[in-house]
Structure 1
Amino acid sequence: MSDTTDGFPLDAPARNPLLPAAAPRESTSRVIAEALRAAIVDGTLAPGAPLRQDAIARHFSVSAIPVREALRQLESEGWARVAVNKGATVAPLSANEAREIYEIRSALESLALSLAIPNHTAATLREATRLCRAAELEPDPSLYVTRNAAFHMSLYAPAGRPQLQEMIGTLHRRGDRYLRLKFDLPSHKGESDREHAALLDAVQRRDIAAAQSLVAAHLLDTGKLLHRFLTERTQAEAALANQPKPRGRRPRTTTGS
């Protein structure tokens, strides 16, 4: 991806070939959607940036059909907005959406923990410990988002509830671009890491009630934090936009003696 935040087109071709030589259309649209999603999460594509079908098709050397399918997928997941006669743009960040995502996650992940904890083994707990540590040590915002999701999902995998796992995974993806904002709040990133460690400890002790309480507080607090951060940022931007523009000085005029 390019460093531009002005949206597709990306003038330069992809640095690495993303598409298999004979990828079926379903696979092609999925790869395009994943590439666009990653660019939105890491800030390459900013909120409101245009997603031009023809430029995306040229970038990936494909027809318009898989691009339209990829954009429809991103729209259904909340990543893009498509307006008639105006095309697609990256969806704006929403304080209310961020809070709601974490509220729903709190309920679903509390349920998943209650089902998973009795089925954890020494091997699954070792893997969860490894992933917890990897997320704690990750300095890159985009990679942290991935490692954070991997840690959470490792706690729920032994539940053996594929539909519940899929629903939680979808919410993680919806929340990826919001979670990245935590890197603008370094003290909260450290606090989140400590909460992860406490949650892992409760799972290791097989204390279902404590684990549910910890994950609920962790997720609800994150939602409230992001809601407050985005609300305050929106208010600050609005106040700045409404400030009167300074008037230029009138040029001096000279008169003859």
Structure 2
Amino acid sequence: MSIVVRTLSDQTYDVVRRHILMGTMAPGTPVRQDVIANELGVSKIPLREALGRLEQDGLLTSYPNRGYVVRPLSGAEATEVFALRLKLEPGATADGARNATAEDRKVAQEALTTLEQQQDMDGTDHVTGNRVFHLALIRPAGPVTHTLLKRLHILSERYVRVHLAPQGREERARREHRQILEAWLAGDSALVESLTANHIGATLYDLKHQLGD
């Protein structure tokens, strides 16, 4: 049994990332490195490593002599990210359904169960659970496909939270996820592709109206 050792940089990355995704570090907010370092009890080195990773994830922007700022939400960025997902993800998820092993199916079922449990609890970071579920469906399609779409999902997480804010969106997402999983488990790749396209397309449509083009 392997043991995963999490560094101070990893732990700091998780905490700051959670603050950004949960909205407690609002878009446009400067990152106060001294305050974070004191609150978490870490030195500047792991903090800077964590902030560098968050910049790579598209959550922060660094400026010379100003440090890091939480990236603003952008209708243009949301449109680009979700349009790319719409082009790539339905086919990748269908390929995942065709290639899935019994273990892959177990992982996907567990991912949706965890996501639904998170949705039932206040204050949980279930946008990450959403990413884990979708990537579980994509993983059997191949490592390159999985890596590319993982990047898009990381970029889309803050927008998923915005999309789910209006009443009724959580329940709609839950219903659509269940439909996609059932078709995926049955190996119905054509239906998986159609349902996934509708799921992402509806989110893209909603975000355009919420954030503007």
Asked if Structure 1 and Structure 2 have the same fold, meaning a TM-score greater than 0.5 normalized by the shorter chain, the answer is: yes
Query: Corresponding residue for 2:161?
Result: 180
Aligned partner (choices 26, 45, 49) of residue 65 of structure 1: 45
* Identity of matched residues, %: 35
Q: 1: distance between equivalents of 2:199 and 2:29?
A: 32
Q: 1: distance between equivalents of 2:34 and 2:26?
A: 19
Deviates more, 1:209-218 or 1:55-64: 55-64
With normalisation by structure 2, the TM-score equals: 0.84
Q: 2: distance between equivalents of 1:74 and 1:216?
A: 29
Q: 1: distance between equivalents of 2:106 and 2:48?
A: 42
Query: Corresponding residue for 2:26?
Result: 46
Q: 2: distance between equivalents of 1:164 and 1:143?
A: 25
Cα drift, residue 133 of structure 1 = 4.0
Aligned partner (choices 152, 160, 163) of residue 134 of structure 2: 152
Cα drift, residue 143 of structure 1 = 3.2
Instruction: Give yes or no for contact 2:62–2:69 (8 Å, CA) kept in 1.
Output: yes
1:110 aligns with 2:110: no
Encode CA deviations 1:42-77: one digit per residue, 9 max, x unaligned: 111111222122333333333323322322222222
Q: 2: distance between equivalents of 1:173 and 1:142?
A: 17
Letter of the structure 1 residue corresponding to residue 172 of structure 2 = E
CA RMSD of aligned residues (A): 2.4
Which structure: greater helix fraction?
2
Between the two proteins, the alignment pairs up a number of residues equal to 207
Larger Rg: 1
- Cα 1:126–1:31 shift into 2, 3 Å: closer
Encode CA deviations 1:17-37: one digit per residue, 9 max, x unaligned: xxx8xx7xxx33333222211
Secondary structure class of the residue paired with 1:186: coil
With normalisation by structure 1, the TM-score equals: 0.71
Instruction: Give yes or no for contact 2:138–2:145 (8 Å, CA) kept in 1.
Output: no
Instruction: Give yes or no for contact 1:141–1:180 (8 Å, CA) kept in 2.
Output: no
Letter of the structure 2 residue corresponding to residue 87 of structure 1 = G
1:210 aligns with 2:194: no
* Larger relative contact order, structure 1 or 2 (CA cutoff 8 Å, min sep 6): 2
Unaligned runs of 5+ in 1: 1-19, 233-257
- Cα 1:97–1:209 shift into 2, 3 Å: same
Secondary structure class of the residue paired with 2:42: coil
Unaligned runs of 5+ in 2: none
Cα drift, residue 126 of structure 1 = 4.2
